[in-house]
Structure 1
Amino acid sequence: MDVRHNLMKEVSPSVSVKPSFKITIVGAGKVGMSCAFCLLQKNLADELVLVDKLADLVKGEAMDLLHGSLFLKSRITADTDYKVTQDSKVCIVCAGMQVKGERADTNQLQNNIAAFKEIIPQLAKYSPAAILLIVTQPVDLLTYVAWKLSGFPKNRVIGTGTNLDNARFRYLLGTELNINPENVHAYIVGEQGCGSIPIWGGTNVAGINVKDLDEKLSSEHGHEIHRRVIESGQEVVRLKGSISWAIGLSVTNILNAILKNLRCIHLVSTNAKDQHDIKSDVFLSLPCILGSPGVCGIVRQPLEEEEERKLRCGVEKLLKAQQEVVL
């Protein structure tokens, strides 16, 4: 105190100001910390909260970031107690066992559901007006679990869904066409992972449908590109042990739209009831307009007959999985 007194004359006492954009990340593993780093670089949070059940891990990660405070514009807090998450604008859930194959096995799934039973009620208790953004796999099923456990309205519970699959799809198409992926407009909907569906009828560059350029792009060659989209995440895991940077960038891209109320269209997992004749509450990826309320709208995207069939198949699989979930 004496040092501060010698340095300056205090004109008015400091006051505590509630942050406008407080963001919580649950899970301080590789995925959670890549999300943290990417959103800090974008200056999206005026306060970032890290929560993990491993006290030393979350303390160490916070210290590592705080030592770079000179280069950041966000306050950083870390704890094992969910009380620090109070009044968060968005809560990002990355905690859980990593899924390394095409689908989560029973052990991985049950462990992640058990973790959500601890995490989601705590987040809902301390931040009842927050938007939940689910990253943990299997993302569609766990977004449904988060919705049921939180009691939040459907617009405020979102899964990352096929947002990253879609980025990979556009990257591969851009490489194929030698065009920046930003200028390749393409959509992957449905169940995240091997059940996803590329919408070739809407895939275009400068309004020119790729099917008009080469029928093979929507047939055998197109199937090969989609296969590479599905397998690319598994390839990254095989090479380096975990995906991290791409999902961090994907999450930051989604957050940017929400926090700045941009009303941008993203392929995220949302409650699809009443879309495409879906009669039940099931979460899967559709083109969603994202803004301050979370999901502001869902684009009525026309699907071809085969795409509708695949979507119904994915819905059936997800509903079967949901029926086996005990909350």
Structure 2
Amino acid sequence: MSGKTTRVVIIGAGFVGSSYAYALLNQGVVDEMVLLDLNQAKAKGDAMDLNHGMPYGSPMKIWAGTYEDCKQADLVVITAGANQAPGETRLDLIEKNTKIFQLIVNDVMSSGFDGIFVVATNPVDILSYVTWKFSGLPTERVIGSGTILDTVRFRFLLGDYFNVDPRNVHAYIMGEHGDTELPVWSHADIGGRPILSYLNSHSDMYTKESLDDIFINVRDAAYHIIERKGATYYGIALGLVRLTKAILRNENSVLTISALLRGEYGLEDIYIGVPAIVNGHGVREVMELQLDQDEMEQFHTSANVLKEAMLPIVTSYF
């Protein structure tokens, strides 16, 4: 998208939205950043605070705006909604956040917006689906953050365990961004060598039980962080910046986003976390990995949990 002014509108100036805005400023990803929130004073305060740090960051125009600013936006990133409280699962948030999203998406589309939606609010898979339905946009232009955070948590913990730079660990978490997600061990590798093969040749140092514990820590990470500090926001903010770069720079990068499946993995009409190629047009292609039998069963179980959870929403709204 070189040669044009790039604009990102962030809807929701809470912990995730403000952390994402701060990371965007630090990494110099866009030319214009617009902050929207029901609490207009908070959005204005964040814009002021970010602008004051501009001389130490990257040149860009930042302001607290209105839905009319969405018309010229390349991306509208939604981080608004009710947060996951201690003891709640992400799926507990469905009804209240669907109501919020109906208002948000209608207001965005009324501006004449014709860009790409990125959804970060939980439950992200279901809210990506409702954003697609409410917006009427092509499916490739509605993207959920999916398991981009779970995947980098996975890579970080595996790198830590094997004492390898996590950037050289290639592994995916797929499925619901939640309790039914799964590790794709059949496609996990370190520098091209399958992790399970590496494990077997170093059985005096590493164990399969430790790998199982690593996945459990990935799956339950949000609960541990929420228990300690009330919310998670830095990791997902950096994940959103990575996704933003992939889109605005037309990178054709593979990221584990939430995308609509249309026959891939034997599933239809569901947004769920999968590896996909992302570029300036949105989702170019869902990568259909050859999962082993156990992984495929777990993936379908995860999809069925999502479908059952969103059935009342589909019945009520669509």
Q: Structure 1: which amino acid aligns with 2:126?
A: L
Measured after TM superposition, the shift of residue 105 of structure 1 is 5.9
1:128 aligns to what?
113
Measured after TM superposition, the shift of residue 128 of structure 1 is 3.1
1:88 aligns to what?
73
Q: Report SS of the residue matched to 2:121.
A: coil
- Residue 270 of structure 2, aligned match among 282, 289, 294: 282
How many angstroms apart in 2 are the aligned matches of 1:44 and 1:322?
Answer: 34
TM-score (norm 2): 0.92
> Aligned pair 1:292/2:280, yes or no?
yes
2:289 aligns to what?
301
Measured after TM superposition, the shift of residue 19 of structure 1 is 6.0
Q: Report SS of the residue matched to 2:103.
A: helix
Q: Is residue 19–residue 47 contact of structure 1 (8 Å, CA) maintained in 2?
A: no
How many angstroms apart in 1 are the aligned matches of 2:112 and 2:310?
Answer: 26
Q: Report SS of the residue matched to 1:276.
A: helix
Structure 1 residues 282-320: Cα deviation after superposition (integer angstroms, max 9, x where no partner): 000111001000111111210010111111111111111
Q: Is residue 36–residue 43 contact of structure 2 (8 Å, CA) maintained in 1?
A: yes
Q: Report SS of the residue matched to 2:285.
A: strand
How many angstroms apart in 1 are the aligned matches of 2:260 and 2:52?
Answer: 41
| Higher alpha-carbon Rg | 1
Any stretches of 5+ residues in structure 1 without a counterpart? 1-17
How many angstroms apart in 2 are the aligned matches of 1:74 and 1:175?
Answer: 36
Structure 1 runs (4+) greater than 3 angstroms displaced: 215-220
RMSD: 1.7
Q: How does 1:81-160 map to 2 (within 5 A)?
A: 81-100=66-85, 101=87, 103-104=89-90, 106=92, 108-160=93-145
Q: Is residue 44–residue 63 contact of structure 2 (8 Å, CA) maintained in 1?
A: no
- Residue 265 of structure 1, aligned match among 251, 254, 258: 254
2:149 aligns to what?
164
Measured after TM superposition, the shift of residue 145 of structure 1 is 0.8
Measured after TM superposition, the shift of residue 86 of structure 1 is 2.0
1:220 aligns to what?
209
How many angstroms apart in 2 are the aligned matches of 1:132 and 1:105?
Answer: 21
Q: Report SS of the residue matched to 1:272.
A: strand
Measured after TM superposition, the shift of residue 219 of structure 1 is 4.6
1:316 aligns to what?
304
How many angstroms apart in 1 are the aligned matches of 2:5 and 2:284?
Answer: 20
- Residue 232 of structure 1, aligned match among 216, 221, 224: 221
Any stretches of 5+ residues in structure 2 without a counterpart? none
2:167 aligns to what?
182
Q: Structure 2: which amino acid aligns with 1:87?
A: Q
Q: Is residue 211–residue 218 contact of structure 1 (8 Å, CA) maintained in 2?
A: no
Q: Which moved more, 1:91-100 or 1:70-79?
A: 70-79
Measured after TM superposition, the shift of residue 119 of structure 1 is 0.4
> Aligned pair 1:203/2:192, yes or no?
no
Q: Give identity over the alignment, percent.
A: 31
1:4 aligns to what?
none
- Residue 60 of structure 2, aligned match among 59, 74, 81: 74
